[in-house]
Amino acid sequence: MAPLLDTNRFATPPTTLAAIIPWGAEAPALLTEDRTYSFRELAQESVRAAMTLAELGVRKGTHVGLLLPNGPDWITIACAVWRLGGVLVPLNTLWSAPELIRGIDRADVRLLVATPHFLNNDYARALDAAGVDLARHDTQAELLPCLSTIVWVPLAPRSGALGWQQCLVSEISEHQLQWLRALEEQTTSTDPAVIFFTSGSEAEPKAVVHTHRSVVAAARGIAERLGLEPGDRVWGYLPWFFAGGLVAGLLAPWIAGAGVICQERFDAGKAIALMERHRASTFFAWPHQAHAIIQHPNFASARINLCKGTGAQADWAHALYGPDHRAVSTWGMTETGPMACATSWSDPIAKRETTHGRPLPGVEIKVVDPDSGEELPPGREGELLVRGATMMRSYYRTRPSDCFDHHGFFHTGDRAWIDEEGYLHFVGRIRDVIKTAGASVSPAEVEAVLSAHPAVRTATVVGIPDAQRGQSGVAFVVLQGTVALDEGSLLRWCRDRLTSYKVPKRAFFVTEGELPLLGSGKVDKAKLVQRAQELLAREQGT
């Protein structure tokens, strides 16, 4: 079957998601543990998926929820939604049943495509227990009235429910292909393409609407800053339900014609074997996965030549990439596409290791005084504002005027400064401030001092209630390997480098696995506050 879309017929670069992928190429697009899929093979599967979704009622504007692990089914169904002009709603595979129900309801998901279970999560059983009919098909119910149909991948968990394999069309006529092509051509760059949920690091996850244009702009900018080429093989374990995983980890490589190495379940040893087998050149992952790979006994002897990717500022960068790497540093959030700033692979390594880069093409940034709104000069720290090509359209069911200021800037809530050359220096969240005895303490500043100790790998600082001071800082510290360090010595290190009120009240030593994580891979600071209070109460015998 010929690919649905011939991108050569565009006089200007395509700006819709179904158009940016080189569908006609025979080059590897997705490399899994079991097999390799070419772009052409995935194109054929996405056409079948599009016809299947069309028979299930998906049209332009239909919200389709996707609850699947990374893999060929995820991306072929996602591309099928975009071909039809639908809106993809990637759902977090780490969510509980109540969180799933809230997400489906908040984003008005009409059709849900889901796996019955993944890892330790039994979604079918959990949704059934919550009162969701697993066999819902073109019906309306009091619970989740927006949701009319559920399709299970690959097979239905019970009799009467719809299974993807049972629904999948087998034959597609030329007339149907023409109909699909017509639908695809009706989709414009300003149409909504995907609703991402934020990681929920500060509050309930927000539903973020991105258009085809914003996602394409972000993917193109990231591919350029990373220096991605068709011969690159990109390994990453960022879930595609997050903007970073889908846009940076999958679409940016594909826009450059590079192949993506996909692992459904993370295993450091298997990741090393996959990178070696497929000659990975580029790396996308969370810090704890990078550490797990470096510490694995097979890493030292593996023939891996990673040189591109993210994390240039991280303590593991030189161990993973080597001394002459071209890895970059980035800044962004779900609302900004995700990455709105990045260093370039060609920047001096000093810039890549100490800054978060300059804005992607079409993006503007500025730093303002959080109180007055006055724009600050280079070197002055304030709130970071962003506008431009990669920005979200709005939060779902929220007017853009309630998301942006009257100049079109998005107020990120991040504390940052910009140097004389236009490079961004991220400091931390504005609200992530510890108020102690009337003074403001930036956890990021204290974390930087702690992490500078040669025995410390990572440090996370949180504020806990203090009857005398309002709040006190408490540090959770992960040490390098088996290096020994006592709390007193570490706090003395801090006293030599910080004003007294910034020194943490306590430092607790933990392993990396003991740090609670959000679904995004970020440390869950709310849980660390609870943990600190429990540890202190236990010490006091209360």
User: What is the C-alpha separation between 437 and 446, in angstroms, rounded?
Assistant: 17
Radius of gyration of the chain (CA): 24
User: Global pTM?
Assistant: 0.84
Low-confidence ranges of the chain (pLDDT < 50): 1-12
Taking residue 426's Cβ as centre, other Cβ atoms within 10 Å add up to: 21
Q: What is the pLDDT of residues 217-247, one digit of tens each?
A: 999 999 999 999 999 999 988 899 999 999 9
**CA angle centred on 528, ends 524 and 531, rounded to 5°:** 140
Return the residue matching tokens 């998926």: 49
Q: pLDDT value at position 132?
A: 95
Q: pLDDT value at position 13?
A: 60
Cα-Cα-Cα-Cα torsion 277, 278, 283, 286, nearest 10 degrees, comes to -60
DSSP symbols for 12-75: S---SHHHHS-TT--SEEEE-SS-EEEHHHHHHHHHHHHHHHHHTT--TT-EEEEE--SSHHHH
Q: pLDDT value at position 372?
A: 93
User: What is the C-alpha separation between 201 and 360, in angstroms, rounded?
Assistant: 25
Helix (H) or strand (E) holding 490: helix 487-495
**386 — phi, psi (to 5°)?**
-135, 145
The pairing of strands 192-197 and 36-38 is: unpaired
- In Å, how far from its chain's centre is CA 474? 28
Find out whether the peptide bond into 377 is cis, omega within 30 degrees of 0: no
DSSP symbols for 353-393: HH---EEPTTEEEEEE-TTT-PBPPTT--EEEEEEETT--S
User: What is the C-alpha separation between 393 and 207, in angstroms, rounded?
Assistant: 11
User: What is the C-alpha separation between 308 and 223, in angstroms, rounded?
Assistant: 11
- Residues linked to residue 407 through DSSP beta bridges, in sequence order: none
User: What is the C-alpha separation between 220 and 239, in angstroms, rounded?
Assistant: 20
User: What is the C-alpha separation between 207 and 395, in angstroms, rounded?
Assistant: 6
Specify whether the CB–CB gap between 433 and 440 falls below 8 A. Answer: yes
3-state secondary structure 126-168: HHHHCCCCCCCCCCCCCCCCCCCEEEECCCCCCCCCEEHHHHC
Q: pLDDT value at position 346?
A: 97
- Residues linked to residue 151 through DSSP beta bridges, in sequence order: 113, 162
DSSP symbols for 280-329: --EEE--HHHHHHHHHSTTTTTS-----EEB-TTSTTHHHHH-TT---B-
**242 — phi, psi (to 5°)?**
-100, 150
- Residues linked to residue 195 through DSSP beta bridges, in sequence order: 209
Q: Mapping DSSP to helix (H, G, I), strand (E, B) and coil, where does residue 116 land?
A: coil
- In Å, how far from its chain's centre is CA 506? 32
User: What is the C-alpha separation between 523 and 532, in angstroms, rounded?
Assistant: 14
Q: Which residues contact 89 (CB under 8 A, 6 or more apart)?
A: 63, 64, 65, 66, 103, 104, 107, 109, 194, 195
For the chain, list the domains and their CATH numbers. Answer: 39-197 (3.40.50.980), 331-341+349-430 (2.30.38.10), 434-540 (3.30.300.30)
Which tokens hold the place of 61?
A: 């504007």
Q: Mapping DSSP to helix (H, G, I), strand (E, B) and coil, where does residue 253 land?
A: helix
Give the 3-state secondary structure percentages of the chain, helix then strand then coil, rounded to 5.
30, 25, 45
Taking residue 503's Cβ as centre, other Cβ atoms within 10 Å add up to: 21
Helix (H) or strand (E) holding 456: strand 456-466
